[in-house]
Structure 1
Amino acid sequence: MPEQVLELPTAWGRLAGSLLLPEGAGPWPAVLLIAGSGPTDRDGNTPLLPAPLDNLKRLAQGLAARGIASLRYDKRGVGGSICPGLSEKALRFEHLVDDAGLAARWLAQHERVGRVSLVGHSEGALIAALAAGAADAQAVVSIAGAGCRASTLMRRQIEGNLPPDLAAPAVEALSSLEAGQPVEDVPDALFLLFRPSVQPYLISWFRHDPAEVLSELEVPVLLVHGAADPQVGPEHALALHAARPDARLKIVEGMDHLLSLKGDIPAGTHVVAGEVAAWLQGLDVRLAA
């Protein structure tokens, strides 16, 4: 199953990605794979971690083996997605939503592809839900997606991990950003988290409540979450399910946030690919009936 490397022109530069089709003529159900937060590339790798994960690449391969085509891409300004003049200060969360919509619409026009669903991991789950309407998506799959605003999740993590003398100003900064107000005096110890150049992005990100967004979607939803996720615990999947009671919920025992099953990423992505493929193929059958 050779991959096709793509470069999609955009108003800001180019969006680079990899198209992976199953064996045969198709047309195939297809998914757009959307990576999580930070400088994460199409394969799920980031320079913030000491070694490559390739979790999204492995997920794409697992889906192709089960008859599901996929397109995964480098986020704007990451890897091959060249964005001349891009500055952190100018980036907004909605830009990432726009990019997902563009990629999904391109995928939907491919001659060997049928309906397209959006599959997002972590932060990408919210992007998928927000982009679904403009992309005319068949369905949305949330993998390890948060069940609350990013600011609420950050507040919980800060209060549970930082000493009180740092937690207090951090929580105060979060409250200001939630209200759309930049923070001028950031303590040196918190500068990396709340540097002025990233604050506009955080403000744009904090506006969106994932549970509320999912509740308003008019397409089927699948929720996949690891029971051993230390960053975004399985209670988040339960919160999303409460907002969308008709969604399919799958909690994977032993799987963490990186889709590693008891330390084994190939095993974790194998389980996730099987769950996503079976659900999408069953969805196609139901819609055709």
Structure 2
Amino acid sequence: MLRNIVLAAALLVTTAAAPAGVDVTVPGPQGALAGTLIDPGKEAPVVLIIPGSGPTDRNGDNPLGVKGGVYRQLAEALAAKGVATLRIDKRGMFGSKAAIADGNDVTIGAYAADAHAWVDMLRKRSGRPCVWILGHSEGALVALQAAQDPKGICGLILVSGAGRPLGEVIRAQLRANPANAPLLPQGEAAIDQLEAGKRVPAASLPAPLQPLFNDRVQGYLIDMFAHDPAKLIAAVKLPVLIVQGDKDIQVAVADAELLKRAQPAATLKLVPGINHVLKPVASDDRAANVATYGNADLPISPEVPDTIAAFVRK
């Protein structure tokens, strides 16, 4: 009986409701930027969550097959540990659709400017002196760019972030899948051109490569490829936490180590058994890893929010 009572108490703790999220906005270039704030109290550190690449929404979902609300889960887990979060939609997408006419007409610098707008709003709204910026995947590059102007930023949390220019990362991703072998010459040639600041007609590429190098996103790719995360982190004078899973098939452990090498003062946390979307993976099977992206019932690893909460509350 006692065992059952203890188990019931444990379940009550783990399923306790997080504070309700509140929709908030700040002005964007042409219309509002939108996000969801969860604030467990005035003493709580606050973390701004910058989404990853493509049409990824504030919850971490993506119509291309990512489900389960990775950022929503992270925000709720952090709230339970006394950490406030604001998760956002990128300019031109979802709730921030009105901010610009074309969600592809963006730069890393523009996303960094939006991050500062959110930081300013959070500081004014809450009276907190500073805000932590958490960037996931491509969002880590945005966080690094934002931190080049450290005003109002407590520090950075870089989750599954590249340590190399993104052109090199995409090359590695293409090479990692044996099925891509016939596409590699044209795919790598396209990356070479974009790194040189030159566009490539997407229609000239094999059909499987055309979505990756869509004509509408090439301006953004040219801008993104020009940023070197290692150089950016080397210039950061704020506290930095680097979180990386060892089952990540998009960004390697070596990337996290490159970031740490470029900024020795940073804290590096390697989390065993989790992938790019922070979900547990039991094997090295690529198909099984990818399958977790679309499994809405699979929760993120609790070690990630545990690590982040401990860092920002130090």
Give the number of the structure whose alpha-carbon radius of gyration is greater.
2
Q: Which amino acid aligns with 2:163?
A: G
Q: Which amino acid aligns with 1:223?
A: I
Do the aligned partners of 2:29 and 2:99 also contact (CA within 8 Å) in 1? no
% of aligned pairs identical?
37
Deviates more, 1:75-84 or 1:87-96: 87-96
Matching residue of 1:285: none
**Relative to 1, partners in 2 of residues 1:84 and 1:14: Cα closer, same or farther, differing over 3 Å?**
closer
Deviates more, 1:151-160 or 1:107-116: 107-116
Task: Kindly indicate whether residue 134 of structure 2 is the aligned counterpart of residue 119 of structure 1.
Answer: yes
Instruction: For 1:201-280, list aligned pairs within 5 A.
Output: 201-262=220-281, 265-268=298-301, 270-280=302-312
Per-residue CA deviations over 1:96-143 (Å, capped at 9, x if unaligned) read 222122112211212354421100111111111111244621100100
Give the Cα–Cα distance (whole angstroms) in 2 for the partners of residues 16 and 85 of structure 1. 13
Per-residue CA deviations over 1:68-98 (Å, capped at 9, x if unaligned) read 1111111112221122662255332322222
Give the Cα–Cα distance (whole angstroms) in 2 for the partners of residues 11 and 120 of structure 1. 22
Q: CA RMSD in A?
A: 1.9
Give the Cα–Cα distance (whole angstroms) in 1 for the partners of residues 183 and 189 of structure 2. 10
Matching residue of 2:190: 173
Per-residue CA deviations over 1:146-204 (Å, capped at 9, x if unaligned) read 11111001111223335554211211111111011112473242222222221111001
**2:78 corresponds to which of 63, 72, 78:** 63
Give the Cα–Cα distance (whole angstroms) in 1 for the partners of residues 204 and 109 of structure 2. 25
Q: Identify unmatched segments of 5+ residues in structure 2.
A: 1-18, 282-291
Instruction: For 1:87-102, list aligned pairs within 5 A.
Output: 87=102, 90-102=105-117
Give the Cα–Cα distance (whole angstroms) in 1 for the partners of residues 76 and 96 of structure 2. 22
How many residues in Structure 1 have an aligned counterpart in Structure 2?
278
Partner-residue secondary structure (3-state), 1:16:
strand
Q: Which amino acid aligns with 2:69?
A: D
Do the aligned partners of 2:29 and 2:100 also contact (CA within 8 Å) in 1? no
Matching residue of 2:215: 196
TM-score (norm 2): 0.83
Give the Cα–Cα distance (whole angstroms) in 2 for the partners of residues 126 and 46 of structure 1. 19
Matching residue of 2:284: none
Q: Identify unmatched segments of 5+ residues in structure 1.
A: 283-289
Do the aligned partners of 1:88 and 1:197 also contact (CA within 8 Å) in 2? no
